[in-house]
Amino acid sequence: MNNKISFRTNTIKKLIKKYGFVLSGFSKATFLEKEADYLEKWLKNGNNGSMGFLANHFDKRLDPRKLVDGAKTVISLAYNYHNPQKQIDPNAPKISSYAYGRDYHKVVKNKLVKLFKEIKAELGDINGRCFVDSGPVMERDWAKRSGLGWIGKNTLLINKDHGSNFYLSEIIIDVELEYDNETVDHCGTCTKCIDACPTDAISDSGYILDAKKCISYLTIELKEEIPKAFSDKMDNWMFGCDICQDVCPWNRFSTPHSEPDFNPKDQLMNMSKRDWVEITEELFDDLFFGSPVKRAKFEGLKRNIDFLTKD
């Protein structure tokens, strides 16, 4: 590897550390051939449910060079959000811990934009784009290629040292860097996530998720009424679900995040079951200002709460 490429790589690695990302890796921007076959079959089987957008921009989703002219490198990054704190009332409808604080799209995107500006200031006129769970990017697959971890049986990216409680993001740039190697799968014979999923959303052998059965999909993405078949299988989740991560043995290595924006409001954590049942739109707007939960809107969250608490 020539000195210029090594200099670029080391410079970017130093800059990344300034912004608190727990993991980073670089991979060559190319067509994801194996992943294309998997995605095509997954979509053909209807595993995306009503998320039709996942079938859009198929070529762009699989080739970053169609997103950034002359793209040569995908920089994959992970930002920790692990919070062991739980809601006070054990009977209250539950919110996934990733949604406790401010919307990660905005928090992490702000860090990415600043990071990219510094990269350009150090290395010159570089063309690129930043993505945080946005745009047609196969983030887990790029993170896997960049050596951040492996895609586990629960279909989430898992790292031996940090578990899976982190947000993934990417910067696609038009310069070559030193590329990282993929790691190996460490799920082994473990089936904890498969066994624990109350809706059987994960296939018997793992690695395939039927989104139509996933509690996160049912409480966030699904806009129609939740099917009655799930009435006794929601495990009291009203927004998202943490089950397959909570039972994953690798998450015993997760450490609490240090991002103030991800800390929940005290009022949110102290809400009782009755408080949630009686929630008003005004309180919803106040509790979830700038939160990922706003995505469900008041009507959506109320639908979920009513589904969980009806007699």
Catalytic member of 133, 174, 180, 185: 133
What's the domain range around 22? 1-311
Q: Which position has the token pair 């039972």? A: 247
**215-226 tens-digit pLDDT:** 999 999 999 999
Joined tokens for residue 22: 């727990």
Please provide the average confidence, as pLDDT, over all residues in the chain.
Answer: 96
pLDDT tier at 1, thresholds 50, 70, 90: low
pLDDT-derived band at 177, boundaries 50, 70, 90 = very high
pLDDT in tens, 16-52: 999 999 999 999 999 999 999 999 999 999 999 988 8
How many domains in the chain? 1
* Percentage, residues of the chain above pLDDT 90: 93
Catalytic-residue membership of 174? no
Mean pLDDT of 110-137: 94
Q: Region 220-235: what's the mean pLDDT?
A: 96
Interval 277-294 mean pLDDT:
97
Q: What is the mean pLDDT of residues 218-241?
A: 97
pLDDT tens track for 57-109: 889 999 999 999 999 999 999 999 999 999 999 999 999 999 999 999 999 99
| Size of the chain in residues | 311
pTM: 0.95
Q: CB neighbours of 188 closer than 8 A, spacing ≥ 6?
A: none
Q: Are 26 and 179 in contact (CB under 8 A)?
A: yes
Predicted confidence (pLDDT) at residue 141 exceeds the cutoff of 60:
yes
Place of tokens 């895609």: 151
Once rounded to an integer, what is the mean pLDDT over residues 187-201?
98
Query: In angstroms, what CA-CA distances link 43 with 51, 72, 112, 141?
Result: 10, 28, 30, 16
Amino acid at 261: D
Q: Is the pLDDT of residue 134 over 90?
A: no
pLDDT of 8 reads 95
∠ CA 61-63-68, rounded to 5°? 100
Nearest to 107 by CA among 212, 250, 217, 261: 261
Q: Which residues sit opposite 168 in a β-bridge?
A: 78
What pLDDT score was predicted for residue 311?
63
